Chains A and B, each alone.
Chain A
Amino acid sequence: MEASAATNPTTQTSPPSGDIIQVEDLVMHFPITQGIVFQRQVGAIRAVDGVSFAIKRGETLGLVGESGSGKSTIGRCLVRLYQTTSGHMYFGGDDLAQAKGAELRTLRRRVQMIFQDPYASLDPRMSVGALIAEPMVIFKTGSRSEIRNRTEELLTTVGLNPQFVDRYPHEFSGGQRQRIAIARAISIQPEFVIADEPVSALDVSIRAQVINLMQRLQQQMGLTYLFITHDMSVVRHVATRIAVMYLGKLMELSDRADLFTNPLHPYTMALLSAVPIPDPRVERRRQRIILQGDLPSPINIPKGCRFHTRCPIAQSICREVEPPLEDKTGRGHLAACHFSERVASLAKGSGTQGVSTAGTV
């Protein structure tokens, strides 16, 4: 795969033909109201606070962040579970943020979502067959028997016995349920799939199965994924490009290889250093950057750079001026930090950091 072309989404130029979706300055604020009869707004949870990125057709963009970063909110905005506060989400020629009625319905057919918890995301009162067939019934993709045949075919595709069509979700294990949710999402052949922590609720020995299944389907159907997760190891495995989110904004957006070998934001660096590696030899060699303090409240976001309260290299300018997300290398490696050139020095004593990971991309 070629290195990511420098798409700087902050510039408002015409969309490059390769992009399937372009998110521009997306804002999602949830109002906080007081009073019962006469409600008035006393503040807002700034879950997503101005985010721009583009996803190329056929790639997987990994969106990583910790709880409260707003990463799931972005996914839910994209399928219009929320009405966005402002901003655009261009999908083909249409703006997902503005679509209504019939237009929204046709767009929904092309954008599908897989949720985190397969125990919660399947209607317990519906049989597996009815669940998988439902999107096809809604969009009337064929006759009753055609849909039935297609449902059984889909079950086979995701690795389940087609004889299971009349069973109910509670008869399946977590991994099997997530397969059902995937079959449901791909039944109407979407172009773009948002996967919100699709493996986090699963047992460790099951995660690999679901990840492999998703990757196989991507190749077979030419799907584009937005893969939302908190797990850096998983995202390293599935994503072609990775966006790192903190408190409602993107901190860094880069090619996978670049992000892991040459992170340009101190938050990314802290995240990477915090992930435990199942190998005691490696673990004993590592030195962690332990972030101080807690995540600030999204109601009261720090002024200046929103990461400065916990940043190990913060200077006075960071408390005043919010750094823009800009290309730091000329090769499409975006970071929002005043001192991105100092980030590498955070990994103290790292003599060799640059064994090339050419094979990774």
Chain B
Amino acid sequence: MAPILEVKGLKTHFRTRDGTIKAVNGVTFDLDEGETVGIVGESGSGKSVTSLSILRLLPTPPAEITEGEIVFEGEDLVSMDERELRKIRGGKIAMIFQDPISSLNPVMRIGDQLLEPIHLHLGLKGDVAYRRAIELLRAVGIPDAERRIRGYPHEFSGGMRQRVMIAIAIAANPKLLIADEPTTALDVTVQAQILELIGKLRRDMKTSVVLITHDLGVVAGITDRILVMYAGHIAERAPTGELFENPRHPYTLGLLASVPRLDDVGVNELQTIPGAPPDMLNPPSGCPFQPRCPFVIDKCSTYPPEVTVGPGHKAACWVDVTAPSEIERAKQRGFLPLRPVGGSFIGETRDSVK
């Protein structure tokens, strides 16, 4: 099957008064039809800039796509003119943002905001369009949709607003849905609702999804593959199960070890990744993770190529982090291997696979 989206060597740079920020610095990945890919990273990793670059939503200046192609259904979005691009935005590719409060127009009724993509991309008018809008609100789980469609955004809770955002996003049956931290601003119980909704829509509509988040827990349950980004590069990519079971990049290892987990079995101290994410105005030369990396070697002063370490599994690291000698060396620098997990908590169903 041909991939629906191919990002090839994408470089998005910001020119600021204080220098150039290489927010995305050579990112390549593709996405198959119906596939869900998670992009995980911290602030400054370039995960959001990558997603905004796909729809060319970044203001130029200061942002500029300096290199690379973004091929969607055989067409390069980077060289496409604004008019054609508008047909794709909200039509074949839709986007959900982090903050449902500022993503909706406060002085427009929910219904009118929902009708916009229906008019623009489906060409439906009048009653037909209105019925479609109500259907969409029902589909995203908004109770009493006939009445709520006439409401204004401030009458909706945060979770309900995010549902409306999703309804707007899926209004034109997009081929690709980009969700940028869709649950970060929401409470956990609401997050569970929204993630379930995205999962359901993905199954029902066969939409491909790019899910961008900083939360490893969020991607664990819902994605097929994961890309881990650090300082504008893809540090590691792997099928979801493989990434968690067999992480091969020191940054991924560090992340997995330092996040407190609900199923921790009593550790008194969390492993830490020392230091802080790099200042993107003056990133370290070579591998950007090297100042924080316990596995660092001399070679790290040049950026490592991506090495295939398993089926669909690549890591951009000079060091084989599974080699016992390397682990010994890293331990000297305070590295602790992954701590035991699998502690029990109720709410987990251990035996039955649903």
Contacts and interface: CB of A to CB of B under 8 A. Distances in A.
Interface in A48-68: 66-67
Contact of A288 (B192, B292, B351): B192
A206 B189 CA distance: 25
Contacts of B274: 209
Contacts of A234: 260
A285 B269 contact: no
Contacts of B190: 66
A283 B277 contact: no
A353 B350 CA distance: 8
Interface string A76-102: 000000000000000000000000000
B189 A280 contact: no
A285 B263 CA distance: 13
A233 B341 CA distance: 12
Contact of B344 (A175, A215, A353): A353
Contacts of A288: 192, 196
Contact of A207 (B195, B259, B279, B351): B259
B351 A360 contact: no
A330 interface: no
Contact of B244 (A66, A279, A359, A361): A279
Contact of A360 (B143, B160, B265, B292): B265
B345 A272 contact: yes
Interface string A187-213: 000000000000000011111110110
A276 B351 contact: no
B207 interface: no
B254 A357 contact: no
A287 B261 CA distance: 17
Interface in A127-160: none
A240 to B, nearest CB: 12
B265 A274 contact: no
A5 to B, nearest CB: 21
A215 B241 CA distance: 32
A208 B259 contact: yes
B221 A276 contact: yes
Contacts of B350: 285, 350-353
Given A175-B276, A204-B214, A280 B221 contact: yes
A329 B351 CA distance: 27
Interface string B228-266: 000000000000110011000000001110111111111
A257 to B, nearest CB: 9
Interface string B185-214: 001111111011000000000000000001
Tell which of B195, B260, B351 has the most Cβ of chain A within 10 Å: B260
B354 to A, nearest CB: 6
A249 B189 CA distance: 18
B186 to A, nearest CB: 9
B343 interface: yes
Tell which of A176, A207, A215, A289 has the most Cβ of chain B within 10 Å: A207
Interface stretch (A29-37, A39-47, A332-340, A341-349): A341-349
Chain B contact surface mostly: loop
Interface string B175-189: 000000000000111
A205 B244 contact: no
B220 A205 contact: no
B271 interface: yes
Nearest to A283: B221
Contacts of B344: 260-261, 352-357
Contacts of A203: 42-43, 214, 276-277
Tell which of A262, A269, A291 has the most Cβ of chain B within 10 Å: A291
A158 B265 CA distance: 27
Contact of B259 (A204, A269, A349, A353): A204
B196 A290 contact: yes
Nearest to B214: A204
A233 B276 CA distance: 22
B166 to A, nearest CB: 16
A215 B269 CA distance: 8
Contacts of A260: 262, 344-346
A230 interface: yes
A209 B275 CA distance: 9
Interface in A211-228: 211-212, 215
Contacts of A280: 220-221, 240-241, 244
A281 B241 contact: yes
A237 B258 CA distance: 11
A209 B277 CA distance: 13
Contacts of A120: none
B256 A278 contact: yes
Given A275-B217, A276-B217, A351-B350, A212 B269 contact: yes
B352 A351 contact: yes
B157 interface: yes
Tell which of B196, B258, B261, B347 has the most Cβ of chain A within 10 Å: B347
B272 A230 contact: no
A236 interface: yes
A348 B349 CA distance: 7
Given A233-B260, A277-B217, 18 more contacts: A204-B255, A207-B259, A208-B260, A211-B270, A212-B269, A233-B261, A237-B260, A261-B345, A274-B188, A274-B191, A276-B218, A277-B220, A278-B256, A278-B261, A281-B245, A282-B220, A283-B220, A350-B347
15 contacts: A67-B187, A175-B276, A204-B259, A209-B273, A212-B269, A233-B264, A236-B262, A260-B344, A272-B346, A276-B191, A282-B342, A294-B160, A347-B346, A349-B352, A349-B354
The 7 closest A-B pairs by CB, nearest first: A276-B217, A278-B216, A283-B221, A359-B266, A273-B347, A66-B187, A208-B258
Interface of B: 42-43, 143, 157, 159-160, 187-193, 195-196, 214-218, 220-221, 240-241, 244-245, 254-256, 258-274, 276-277, 279, 292, 341-354
